[in-house]
């Protein structure tokens, strides 16, 4: 029983630390704020290719989180990076990964693609 509580406590502590770290490295934007700036930035969809093909924000490039480490060089450090995924979880993880590699101007869409009401392109 004590082992379970220790593990549960560790998971909670890890989640809290990750939450505050993410808040420091990436700015979460409402759809309105996101819409105001994404055309002047690198717009990256970090979902998998099949999710991207089913519908994505007009002008977005698909660099799945699973490929980000290998494809990071495709992103410029001197321009803002606007990230989104389905719900906001993967884009937050992508931002943490980019931050560790020296990218600083990072933003992600609150609630992810499922909350997007703007123009969408389907393949």
Q: What is the 3-state secondary structure (H, E, C) of the chain?
A: CHHHHHHHHHHHHHHHHHHHHHHHHCEEECHHHHHHHHHHCEEEECCCHHHHHHCEECCCEECCHHHHHHHHHHCCCCCCEEEECCCCHHHHHHHHHHHHCCCCCEEEECCCHHHCCCCEECC
Look up the domain containing 107 and give its range: 25-122
Q: Check residue 17 and give left, alpha or beta (phi > 0: left; psi -120 to 50: alpha).
A: alpha
Q: How many percent of the chain have pLDDT more than 90?
A: 74
pLDDT of residue 21: 59
Q: How much is the mean pLDDT over the chain?
A: 91
Query: Which pLDDT value is given to residue 85?
Result: 96
pTM: 0.83
Residue pointed to by tokens 């990964």: 97
Residue 53 placed within a domain: yes
Number of domain units in the chain:
1
Is 71 labeled as catalytic in the residue annotation? Answer: no
Per annotation, catalytic residue among 63, 85, 94, 109: 85
CA-closest candidate to residue 88, choices 65, 58, 70: 65
- Decide if 113 is inside a domain: yes
What CATH number corresponds to the domain at position 91? 3.40.250.10
- Predicted confidence at residue 70, as pLDDT, reads 97
Q: Is residue 109 part of a domain?
A: yes
**What's the pLDDT at 112?**
95
pLDDT value for 19: 66
Low-confidence ranges of the chain (pLDDT < 70): 18-23
Domain assignment of residue 102, yes or no: yes
Whether residue 61 is contained in a domain is answered as yes
């Amino acid at each position: 029983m004590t082992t379970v509580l220790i593990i549960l406590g560790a998971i909670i502590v890890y989640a809290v630390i990750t939450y505050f770290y993410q808040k420091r490295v990436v700015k979460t934007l409402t759809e309105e704020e996101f819409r105001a700036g994404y055309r002047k930035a690198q717009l990256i969809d970090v979902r998998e290719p099949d999710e991207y093909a089913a519908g994505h924000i007009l002008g977005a490039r698909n660099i799945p989180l699973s490929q980000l480490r290998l494809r990071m060089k495709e992103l410029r450090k001197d321009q803002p990076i606007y990230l989104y995924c389905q719900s906001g979880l993967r884009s937050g993880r992508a931002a943490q990964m980019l931050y560790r590699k020296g990218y600083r101007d990072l933003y992600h869409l609150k609630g992810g693609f499922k909350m997007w009401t703007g123009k969408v392109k389907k393949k």
